[in-house]
Amino acid sequence: MAIKTRISELLKIDYPILQGGMAWASTAELVAAVGKGGGLGIIGSGQAPLEWLQEQVYRAKKLTDKPFGVNVMLLSPYAEDILNFLAREKVAVVTTGAGNPGKYVNMLHDAGIKVIPVVSSVALAKRLERTGVDALIAEGLESGGHVGELTTMALVPQIVDAVQVPVIAAGGICDGRGMAAALMLGAEGVQMGTRFMCAAECTIHERIKEMVIKAKDRDTVVTGRPTGHPVRILKNKLARQFLEMEECCRASDEFEKLGVGRLRLAMVDGDVEMGSVMAGQVSAMVSEIQPAESIIREVVSGAQKVITDIYNGKVSARSC
């Protein structure tokens, strides 16, 4: 059964589930598979050059007739070129991360594109609502990659109360219980990244999928706080080096140097020790590789089950 919210209507999808646009991980194959499963697939551009992104967009258009999105990481030196390209290509949706996309909203709207920024604070949510964005993704610090300061549990209801546009919850959500909880907090959709890293169609290196599957509850850590861009990654040799640097208060440019190319090294080359394995706290809850379509089916039926059970007075929502 479909789940109808303002998000599923806005994005013309069966289920209000977005696949996080993860750099070097969310490629055209995954995006097409998520679309087939009834969710919204999102290509991750990260810091990749324009040519890489162009190839992904062209491939996604060949692989699927469903709407899809592209995530633009606003710290990327290629962000502006990528946004101009996306306006020309008229992709259905643009999500943004790691910054304020306010100055691009009109240009994207003129091209008929829905604009959905990721935010981690109420102040930015309110500011962006005034620019006319279509929806917001409220991302808590449980997520992988670049993180804010508030948990999903605290952030989502505060943003829901502060804005009129529909809100999508992200960070710490990987199953039906998480989706149901997000809906209870007032969100009208969820975005999941880590669970989709272990989708069969996700093209990241198998060693990284294994690492996520083996991860336990305390296996992620936030590094890079002194740079102003804290990033959650799975613990490995690189994470230990970052943490050592933080203890000796080294200069920010040393962090930048150590970080260059590390995400690609993990996701594409499968370097589990010296790559930056950006993954969320729910890594410990991801236990197998499954087709994206099954992931979506399981999450939706799990959410429907716990909501119905609780409505009927059965108050335990174990493992849905």
- CB nearer to ligand TUI: pick between 68 and 255: 255
Would you count residue 151 as binding ligand TUI (CB under 6 A)?
no
Q: Which stretch in 3-11, 93-101, 151-159, 240-248 sits in contact with ligand TUI by CB under 6 A?
A: 93-101
Q: Which residues within the stretch 103-122 sit at the binding site for ligand TUI (CB under 6 A)?
A: 118-120
Which residue among 35, 37, 41, 46 contacts ligand TUI (CB under 6 A)?
46
Strand 167-170 to strand 136-139: parallel, antiparallel, or no bridges (unpaired)?
A: parallel
CA end-to-end distance (rounded Å), the chain: 16
Would you count residue 70 as binding ligand TUI (CB under 6 A)?
no
Taking each helix axis as running N to C, give the angle between helix 28-36 and helix 292-311, from 0 to 180 degrees, rounded to the nearest 10. 40
Would you count residue 226 as binding ligand TUI (CB under 6 A)?
no
Would you count residue 251 as binding ligand TUI (CB under 6 A)?
no
Residue type for 204, please? I
- CB nearer to ligand TUI: pick between 97 and 178: 97
Round to whole Å and give the CA distance between 145 and 70: 17
Collapsing DSSP states into helix, strand and coil, what is residue 134? coil
Q: Output the smallest distance, CB 46 to ligand TUI, in A.
A: 5
Would you count residue 201 as binding ligand TUI (CB under 6 A)?
no
Q: Which stretch in 25-33, 141-149, 279-287, 309-317 sits in contact with ligand TUI by CB under 6 A?
A: 141-149
Q: Output the smallest distance, CB 144 to ligand TUI, in A.
A: 7
- CB nearer to ligand TUI: pick between 83 and 317: 83
Q: Which stretch in 1-9, 91-99, 267-275, 295-303 sits in contact with ligand TUI by CB under 6 A?
A: 91-99
| Pair 281, 232: CB distance under 8 Å | yes
Which residue among 73, 94, 133, 138 contacts ligand TUI (CB under 6 A)?
73
* DSSP sequence for 297-312: HHHHHHHHHHHHHHHT
Would you count residue 101 as binding ligand TUI (CB under 6 A)?
no
Which residue has the CB atom at the shortest distance from ligand TUI? 145
Contacts of 204 (CB under 8 A, 6+ apart): 24, 25, 197, 266, 267, 268
Q: Which residues within the stretch 271-300 sit at the binding site for ligand TUI (CB under 6 A)?
A: 278
* DSSP sequence for 163-227: -SS-EEEESS--SHHHHHHHHHTT-SEEEESHHHHTBTT--S-HHHHHHHHH--TT-EEEE-GGG
Where is 118: in which H helix or E strand?
strand 114-119
Residue type for 243, please? L
Residues lying near ligand TUI in the complex (CB under 6 A) are found at 23, 46-47, 73, 75, 97-100, 118-120, 124, 139, 145-146, 148, 229, 231, 278
